[in-house]
Structure 1
Amino acid sequence: GGAGVGKTVLIQELINNIAKAHGGVSVFAGVGERTREGNDLYHEMIDAGVIKMDDNHNLIEGSKVALMYGQMNEPP
C-alpha cells in the first residue's frame, strides 16, 4: 500500500487486539522493509503501550509483540 493509507495503524490494532482478547503473543516479520518504516512502527507501538518500556527506555515485562526485520537479499 501507499503512504498514509493506515497500514501501521492496522498492524498495531491487530497485534493489540490479539494480545488483549486471546492473551497471545504476536510476531511481525517485515521482510524487505525499509529501516525508516520499521523504526516508525517500533516507536508507534511504544507510544501506544503495545511495547512496554520504562522511563529510561528499558524494556519491561508485559510486551506481547516481537518485531523482526530482514532484507530480501540476505539470509535470515
Structure 2
Amino acid sequence: MHELADADPAHHKIFIHSLGWDTIAETLTFVFGKYSEIEDCKAVTDRIFGKSKGYAFILFKHRSYTWKALK
C-alpha cells in the first residue's frame, strides 16, 4: 500500500491558503525547501494583475517529505 501511495503524486502535494497578495513561488520554495526537496511549486496568481490569489500548491519529491512539512 505504501508503494502505491509513493507512486501517486497526489500524496506528494500540499495546498496552502491564506497567503498574502505579494507571495511568489520562490518565497514558498525557500520556506518549504528546508523540509525536503521540492519538485514543483505553483503560487496561483491573477492573470490580469499578476498578484497572488492567496493560495498555492507544493509538490514534494517524496511522500515522506510531505508529512515532514505538514508536521
TM-score, shorter chain, exceeding 0.5: no
Q: Which has the higher strand share?
A: 2
Structure possessing the higher relative contact order (Cα contacts under 8 Å, 6 or more residues apart): 2
